[in-house]
Amino acid sequence: MTVLDKLRSEREALVDEIEGLMQGDFDPQASELVEARGRAEALDTKIKSLVEWNQRRAAANEIDAISVRSRQDVEQKQTREAEAKSVGETWVRSKAYEQYRQVPKGNSQVIDMPFDSLLQTRAPILTNTFAGLIQPDRIIPSTPPAQQTPLLDLINRVTVGSNTVEWIFYPAAAPVGTITPEGQAKTEAAITPVLRTITLDTIASWAQYSRQFGEDAPGLVDFLNASLARGIMDKREAEAAVALTGDATIPETPNALGTLLEGIRRAVGSVQDAGYVPQAVALNPGDYAELDLAVLGMTMRGPVVGESFWGIRPVPVGAIPSGTAYVGDFTAGMIELVRRDVSVYTTDSHASTFTSNILTTLVEARTKSIVHRPEALAKVVGTVGAAVGATGGGEGGAQRGTSGAKR
């Protein structure tokens, strides 16, 4: 940091101090304020003197530079004159030319010319020969992959009007009615509702860019805003996966020594027994691939895209650990509570950025994913491998009835 920068920094700190002393009701004649102003004036005098000295020194340096350039021009001219001349220059400066002027009939002697002087040389034309005149081409930024929110796409979304949400949770099984003879007292239904409360999460991120950047490259600003919004959605998807995999109330279907494919079929029965219709199985993408390959080996039908396991749609979710799957009615089992969807705000009044022409873009959402009806889902754990009882010799082994994955 130069002396001038230090003085300016000291003056800026002193200005902040003076402004702090002038807050609210203040006495202009207060000793602290008068003393601070005196120091500020002294700094102004120093800064002014230093600036004037720098200007005089710069002017003197410019005079010296002009003198140096003039001397260099003379030296370069002398160097050019000492170099090989062109054909015409060589002829005019030769003795043969002097004799030629004296010969009446215009004849002259033969002169020797260097071979290099007979060649016409030019500097090659390169891309930097016309630096600044060849306009660069520009392509738009590469398009990122499509937004992947497979779990959020499965569950319901409910708009709420507050940051805190309450709901009444009823037990999984409804009370079963009893057959009661005429004249006898009926059986009371035991229902124990539970009031649950949740607080939404504020998911946000922000970035800054100059006003000039926004004016000169509006397309890149749109790209930046889209990237920030994508990051918010990625976090919402991750939080939904955390809510699913971290909920201990989701019943786990027994699958001792079974493969994941067998466990999925058993989980389908568990969800159906609870009174729900399973429509999807969420599992690790690597497990999805292994199960597809296993079924391919059993059915020998060749690769098929978009098929199902046991009649329900597989949904790959990267946050689910390998060897675990969740089967169920996700529209009933999970909910994303949304107070505010992804919103983009831009301001030039963040901190002291107004005077710096810096714009701040903030992107945020207020949401929370919850497991609403855990009995509508079933967790299953199993090894990833070929299903038990695979025939491997035709299509029937993995298709027939419920003995394999429905393809």
Q: Quick: pLDDT tens for 370-399.
A: 998 999 999 999 988 654 444 333 333 333
Indicate if 362 and 229 belong to the same structural domain.
yes
Among residues 368, 261, 354, the alpha carbon closest in space to that of 312 is found at 261
- 3 or 345, which is more confident? 345
- Is the domain of 234 the same as that of 97? no
Choose the weakest-confidence range: 45-49, 132-136, 202-206, 319-323.
Answer: 132-136
Residue 285 lies in a domain: yes
Total domains in the chain come to: 3
**Average pLDDT score over residue span 65-80:** 71
Q: Which is more confidently placed, 326 or 194?
A: 326
Neighbours of 21 (CB within 10 A): 16
pLDDT at 309: 83
Higher-confidence residue of 301 and 228: namely: 228
What number is the average pLDDT over the span 4-26? 78
> Comparing C-alpha atoms, which of 355, 318, 341 is closest to residue 151?
318
Residue 225 is assigned to a structural domain of this protein: yes
More confident residue, 2 or 210: 210
- The pLDDT value recorded for residue 406 is 40
CA angle 73, 79, 83 (to 5 degrees): 145
pLDDT confidence of residue 110: 67
At 155-193, the pLDDT tens digits run 999 999 999 999 888 776 677 788 889 988 888 887 888
pLDDT grade for 404, boundaries at 50, 70 and 90: very low
At residue 238 the predicted structure's pLDDT band, cuts being 50, 70 and 90, is very high
Residue 309 bridge partners (DSSP): 312
Query: Residue 242: inside a domain, yes or no?
Result: yes
Residue 84 has pLDDT above 60, yes or no: no
Statement to judge: residues 162 and 103 lie in one domain: no
Overall average pLDDT of the 34-53 stretch: 82
Give pLDDT, residue 316: 94
112 and 162 share a domain?
A: no
37 falls within a domain: yes
> Does 129 reside within a domain?
no
* DSSP reduced 3-state for 157: strand
Assigned domain for 198 exists: yes
**Rounded to the nearest 5 degrees, what angle is found at the Cα of 125, between the Cα atoms of 124 and 129?**
120
Q: Between these two residues, 278 and 77, which has the higher pLDDT value?
A: 278
Q: Which domain holds residue 12?
A: 3-22+30-81
| Over residues 285-293, mean pLDDT | 89
Q: Do 338 and 276 share a structural domain? A: yes
Same domain, residue pair 330 and 303: yes
What is the CB neighbour count within 10 angstroms for residue 280? 22
Has residue 57 been placed in a domain?
yes
Q: What is the residue-averaged pLDDT of the chain? A: 80
Residues 292 and 315 in one domain: yes
Is residue 154 situated within a structural domain? yes
Residues 326 and 223 in one domain: yes
> Is pLDDT above 60 for 401?
no
Residues 235 and 305 placed together within one structural domain of the fold: yes
Average pLDDT estimate for 342-364? 88
Q: Are residues 16 and 98 in the same domain?
A: no
221 plus 295 within the same structural domain = yes
Per-residue pLDDT at 394: 36
Residue 345: in which H helix or E strand, if any?
strand 334-347
Distances (CA, A) of 177 to 181, 184, 191, 271: 13, 14, 13, 22
